[in-house]
Structure 1
Amino acid sequence: MRRVTLTLLFMLSVSAYSTVIGQSGLKVMSYNVRYDNPSDADNGNGWKQRRDNVVKLIKHYNPDLLGVQEAMKHQLDYLLEELEGYDYIGTGRDDGKEKGEYSAILYKTSQFKLVEGGTFWLSQTPDKPSKAWDAALPRIATWAAFEVTDSHQRFYYLNTHFDHVGTEARANSAKLILEQLGKLTGAAPVVVSGDFNVTPDAEPYKILTSQLNDGRKESASEAYGPEGTFSGFELTADKDFPRIDYIFVKSMKVQAYETISDFFDDKFPSDHLPVMAVVSFDGK
C-alpha cells in the first residue's frame, strides 16, 4: 500500500506536467509555510529540517508574487536570503512590527513597483493590533498596490490568514476584507490569497465569492493537482485533504490554476500545499 500511495502522489507532483510552468502572465503563489514550531522537529518537520525544500519548491515554480502565511520574521529573512530578486511587505501580527506571524507579500522587484501598502487587523479595530469576535488569535491582512514595470498597469494584492477556531470571526473577516477592498482598490484589478480556514461550502467563502472569483473555478485551463490543500504533513493518497487555501481575483483572467503536491524525501515541505495561479489583465 505504501508503494501505491507514493506512486500516486509522485504522479501528482511531477512538475513536467504542471499547468503553471511556462505560462505567460503573472504567476501568483499562496503558501502557508508553517510557523517555526520547535515541537515539529520531533517528527522531522522542524523549520530547519524543511526550509531548504520550501525554498527549492518556490525557486522551481518561480512565482512573480508570493503570499505567505504563518511566516515569522526569521523565516522571512531566510526566504529573502535564499530567493534572489524579491522584497516583501508585511508586519508581525502581534505588535504591528516584527513580533508574531506575518501574512507577507513577496514580490519580484524587477517586475513590480510597490506604490503603497499596509496591514490591517481582522477585528473591529483594524488599525491596531487586536483580535475580535470568537477568534483564538490576532489575525491580519497585508495589502499592496503594485505597478507592473513594463506596462505601468496598476493592481492590488491582498494576502491573509483567517482564524482557525472562530466561526463568527471568519465570517466577519470575510466581510471586512470586502469592505477594505472597496475602500482601497476602486475599479482596479485585485488578487486575494490566503489560508482562509474554510471549505467552499462555508459562509465566509460564499461572502468572499459574492464579489471575488475563485481562481480554481475561473481557470481557462482545467485546474491541476489535488483539490485539497491542508495535509497536516500527511503524505498519503488515501485521505481527502480539505480545501482551505485559495487565490481569488477580481477584474482579472485566470489562465491556469494548480495545487502543488511536490514532496521531498517522503515529506511535504509544509503542512499546507501551495496553490498557484497564472493571471492576466483584461484577458491578455
Structure 2
Amino acid sequence: MTFNIRYDNPGDGVNAWPNRKDWVASLIRYHGADVIGVQEALLHQLTDLDARLPGFARVGVGRTDGKTKGEFSAILYRADRLTLKDSGTFWLSPTPDVAGSKGWDTAIERVATWAHFADRRTGCEWLQLNTHYDHIGEAARQESSRLIRRRLLTLAKGKPVIMTGDLNTEPTHAPYRILTTESLQDAVAPLADAFVTSRTGSYGPTATWNAFKAIEANRRIDYILVSPSVAVEQHAILPDMWDGRFPSDHLPVIAAITGICR
C-alpha cells in the first residue's frame, strides 16, 4: 500500500489529523496490507499509528535532519510476516547521502527510504522503496526518477523491487516515463505500473487526489511500481470515506503481489 496521510496541519479544521488518525489506522487494518509506504508523516503521526497498528514496525527518518525533524517517507511493515535485513534513506538531490540536502529546482527536502525484506514464510527477498517527489520542481522530479533507478541497481543487487510513492506527476509526464520506459545506463530496468499490469485490472477510481473535497478526474499521482518480473494479481485505488469525509487528501493505493519468487 502507498498512502499519503497528509501532514498534521491544524489549519485543515475538521480534516486535521486528530480527527483522521483513527480512520487512517482503521483503513490500514481493514485492508490488511503487509507493507505500507506513507508520505507526509511527521514523527508524532507515526507514533499515533504505532499505537493503533500493533504488530507493525517501521523504518525511515525525517527529511530535514535525517533523524526526527520534518516529514518522513516511512515504510511500515508486519514484523510477524517480514524480516528486515537492511534499510536506509537517501535524499533526492545531487548529494543524496547528505542529510537535508536539496538540489535542482526542488522547493523542499525530499527523501527515499528503502528496506530489504525477506518473507518469513517463503524466504523470498525484495527491495522496497518509498518516496515523495517535489510538488514544485519539474526538473527535480525528473532527476529524482533517474537517481532512484540508478540507486536501485546498487541497493537491490538483482532482487525484485517494489516502489511506492506520491510522485506528484501523472502518467503522461516525464518523471513517470523515466521510471517506466526510459533507457538508462547503470540503472535497474524500467519499472512496471501495477495499475497497468494487474491481472484483474484496477478497482476503484482512476485518480488518487481529492483535496478533502472530491476525487479529481485524471489526477493519478500515487503509485505502486514493480520490477517487470513481479506478478501483480490485484490493484485498487481506495475511495473509502467516513461520514462523507476522506481520511486524507490522497486516496491510498493497494496491490496484491504474488510473484516475487519465481
Q: Is TM (by shorter chain) over 0.5?
A: yes
1:97 — aligned with what? 67
Q: Which of 134, 146, 149 is the aligned partner of 1:178?
A: 149
SS of the aligned residue for 1:240 comes to: coil
* Identical pairs, percent: 45
CA-atom RMSD in angstroms:
1.1
Match of 1:240 in 2: 217
**Which of 216, 228, 231 is the matching residue for 2:207?**
228
Tell me the distance in 1 between the aligned counterparts of 2:164 and 2:75.
Answer: 10
> Aligned partners of 1:201, 1:47: CA distance in 2, in Å?
32
Which stretch shows the higher mean deviation, 50-59 or 264-273? Answer: 50-59
Distance 1:177-1:147 versus aligned 2 partners, 3 A rule: same
Contact 1:68–1:103 (8 Å) recurs in 2? yes
| TM-aligned CA deviation for residue 136 of structure 1 | 0.5
Number of positions where the alignment pairs a residue of Structure 1 with one of Structure 2: 252
Alignment pair present for 1:49 and 2:19: yes
Larger radius of gyration: 1
Please name the residue that 1:208 is paired with: 179
Greater mean alpha carbon deviation, residues 253-262 or residues 179-188:
179-188
Distance 2:261 2:147 in 1: 28
1:115 to 58, 69, 85: 85
* Amino acid of the structure 2 residue aligned with 1:192: M
What TM-score do the two structures reach when normalised by structure 2?
Answer: 0.94
Q: Which runs of 4+ in 1 moved over 4 A?
A: none
Q: 2:31 matched to 1:40?
A: no
TM-score, normalization by structure 1: 0.87
List gaps (5 residues or longer) in structure 1. 1-28
Contact (CA 8 Å) 2:232, 2:259: kept in 1 or not? Answer: no
Letter of the 2:222 partner, please give it.
D
What is the identity, as a one-letter code, of the residue corresponding to 1:76?
L
Which of the numbers 174, 177, 197 marks the counterpart of 1:218? 197
Change in Cα spacing, 1:215 to 1:186, as seen in structure 2 (3 Å) is same
Deviates most, 50-59 or 165-174: 50-59
Instruction: Provide the rounded CA distance (Å) in 1 between the counterparts of 2:147 and 2:154.
Output: 11
Counterparts of 1:240 and 1:74, CA distance in 2: 32
Structure 2 unmatched runs, 5+? 182-189
Q: Which has the higher contact order (CA 8 A, sep 6+)?
A: 1
Matches within 5 A, 1:58-69: 58-69=28-39
Taking a change above 3 Å as real, the CA distance of residues 117 and 282 of structure 1, as seen in their structure-2 partners, is closer
Is 1:31 aligned to residue 3 of structure 2?
yes
CA distance in 1, matches of 2:78, 2:220: 28
